[in-house]
Structure 1
Amino acid sequence: MTGAAGFIGSHLCERLLGDGHEVVGVDNFSTFYERGRKEENLHAAQASPRFVLREVDLAVADIGAGLGDCDGVFHLAAQAGVRGSWGETFDIYTRDNIVATQRLLEALRFNRIPAVLASSSSVYGNAAQLPASEDAPLAPMSPYGLTKLAVEQLVRIYVAQYGLDVVSLRYFTVFGPRQRPDMAFTRFLTAALTGGVVHVLGDGHQTRDFTYVSDAVDATVRALGGPRGAVYNVGGGSPASIEAVLALVTVISGAALTVDHQAFAAGDVTHTWADTSRARRELGWRPRVSLDDGLRAHLDWVASTLSAAAA
């Protein structure tokens, strides 16, 4: 599994180990955020004798040599983040998203192993009709979204030309314990617990289809071996505005928030909402964790992280 030390990847490692599998985790420990957080993500997985971690850069490594004994591949490694994809850093996105994926697809071509690839709701841009189905027009609004669409197109090409068994998942705003420090929920909850200022990009009326991490992981596991070339939305099913999220943070934390509204960020879309009927029908998947319950678990994790850092 690639991206093993990341937010979703580390949870997926634990799910697979819990299901009795042997897991080879791959990560390049990019500098997008500090390595220590990623190493902490893997503490539970590394306690298992059935887990092996390999520090590998997919853009340059001999990937095929490590696939021979694998029954399936989960490709979650990527350079994430809409706002960081503009300007001179775009080459990082093309390298870690497009080039790395193309090299992995080449390795899969010769090893004939089924795979699941992580894409993003960013491929839709500002969808004209909501909830957005997988057949909706794709018009990303950011260089990051463009690279994820390019990755999906690479998969389509390799499926058509070489018959690869690859499924793509479009994740919608995943949250929960271990969420990246730059993402909204982690920032909001940290500010609530520390008395800091909550910085909100935009007026707060924008909405997102928030998906709890265990639901994203469950969809990912179910997708392995799914219909060749299929694409599925993975969303929580209950869009909420940022204003509504902040109100919920106030309730569950008991803290009065100081909110600083800033300009909308380039590339951020106004609304997202996933039509998940295809995943429900073909994968037997459905989201199970509500925004309220998931945010409370996220809060507990942020609190424990802050306590550990202060010790």
Structure 2
Amino acid sequence: MTVSLPRSALVTGVAGFVASHLAEALLDHGTQVTGLDRRSPETDAVAAANLTACLGRPGFTLARADLIDCELAPLLATVDVVFHLAGIPGVRASWGARFPEYVASNIVATRRLAATCHQLGVPRLVVASSSSVYGPAGDRPVTEDGPTRPMSPYGVTKLAGEQLSLAYGSLPQPATTVVALRYFTVYGPRQRPDMLIQRALQAALGGEELLVYGDGKQRRDFTFVGDVVRASLLAAGVPGPAEVLNVAGGNSVSVTEVLATIAELTGRPVPTRSAPDQAGDVPGTWADTSKARSLLHWQPRTGLADGLAQQLDWLRCHQPGGHR
């Protein structure tokens, strides 16, 4: 499928892991990109690192603002597509005192953005959702019309934000059409430091113990960031008023298998330390991606071993004493 990219786009949460990769890809294709984030590269080292390839580049404008209360109309007035990736991630922290922040960022801000897109007639809104909306996978890959039973407050907020956005796309003759993409465990260069693969690679390189929750038999459908970006770009042009699509690697792999692959790639065993299962951590995720194949003509291109090798190479280049 040929990617028909917008002339101009707004990327929310642009200083984040996936959004910064998406902004780079849009710039590479000639799209004028406004990146919105409440973090400043001047004061946030992670934001600065993620946006290195965007800052100062022709066609890129950074707007430092918070979706909760910023003036949205000037940001949306001339864009063809909004890619909404802003929000607070993480299952474990959502059980604690920060839950009101999850509600504000993942639900209230998302509804505010979707409503303003509708009011101003922005043609397309692409929303980053999560596999956490499903809850535990059974013995079959989950389809988009399957039950949604999130097992964490985080998953509840992602489902609410997704469904609010789709509600605007389901209005009679909607001014803004909506595609919600349910990302499954995205990994790759610049992955968040709290994520399993990033922590495991650092443990293999540095020798510090990796804290493994549970028995290591938990399974995840890992998805390389380049595949996620490609699906997101394609979602900008797919027809339909309100669609939800799984975006996943298509293969459910256990934590133990991931650690074994990392050991092979690094030539070092990953030192581990066990900890009890954590609330909200589902035993497995596994996606059916046939709808994305049909509507987007998309399928994942990067297998786990190749994706891990790319993330390892990036980490070796960017981590002090990275053991090349």
Structure 1 residue 65, shift from structure 2 partner: 2.1
The answer as to 2:29 corresponding to 1:19 is yes
Partner of 1:127: 137
Give the 3-state SS of the residue equivalent to 2:109 in structure 1.
helix
The answer as to 2:115 corresponding to 1:106 is yes
Instruction: Work out the CA distance in 1 between the residues paired with 2:144 and 2:170.
Output: 18
- C-alpha contact (below 8 Å) 2:315/2:322 kept by paired residues: no
Partner of 2:168: 158
Instruction: Work out the CA distance in 2 between the residues paired with 1:294 and 1:276.
Output: 19
Percent identity reads: 47
The within-5 A match list for 1:172-183 is 172-183=184-195
* TM-score (ref. length: structure 2): 0.92
The within-5 A match list for 1:59-78 is 59-78=68-87
Query: Which amino acid in the other structure matches residue 81 of structure 2?
Result: G
Partner of 1:289: 302
Give the 3-state SS of the residue equivalent to 1:158 in structure 2.
helix
Partner of 1:89: 98
Query: Which amino acid in the other structure matches residue 85 of structure 2?
Result: L
Compared with structure 1, are the counterparts of its residues 129 and 156 closer, same or farther at alpha carbon in structure 2 (3 Å cutoff)?
Answer: farther
Instruction: Work out the CA distance in 2 between the residues paired with 1:76 and 1:208.
Output: 21
Instruction: Work out the CA distance in 2 between the residues paired with 1:97 and 1:54.
Output: 19
Partner of 1:244: 257
Query: Which amino acid in the other structure matches residue 109 of structure 1?
Result: H
Aligned length: 307
Q: Deviations over 1:19-58 (max 9, x none)?
A: 111110001129xxx9201211101111411111111100
Instruction: Work out the CA distance in 1 between the residues paired with 2:80 and 2:135.
Output: 34
Q: Deviations over 1:69-121 (max 9, x none)?
A: 11111000010000110121100100111011011012101121111000000
Instruction: Work out the CA distance in 2 between the residues paired with 1:170 and 1:146.
Output: 13
Higher helix share: 1
Q: Provide the alpha-carbon RMSD of the alignment.
A: 1.6
The within-5 A match list for 1:158-237 is 158-161=168-171, 163=174, 164-226=176-238, 227-237=240-250
Instruction: Work out the CA distance in 2 between the residues paired with 1:186 and 1:87.
Output: 24
Q: Deviations over 1:171-208 (max 9, x none)?
A: 00000001001001110001111111011111000100
Instruction: Work out the CA distance in 2 between the residues paired with 1:177 and 1:97.
Output: 24
Instruction: Work out the CA distance in 2 between the residues paired with 1:36 and 1:98.
Output: 27
Instruction: Work out the CA distance in 1 between the residues paired with 2:138 and 2:200.
Output: 29
Instruction: Work out the CA distance in 2 between the residues paired with 1:87 and 1:217.
Output: 31
* TM-score (ref. length: structure 1): 0.95
Gaps of 5+ in 2: 1-10
Partner of 1:270: 283
More displaced 10-residue stretch of structure 1: 292-301 or 148-157: 148-157
The answer as to 2:302 corresponding to 1:302 is no
- C-alpha contact (below 8 Å) 2:94/2:152 kept by paired residues: yes
Query: Which amino acid in the other structure matches residue 307 of structure 1?
Result: P
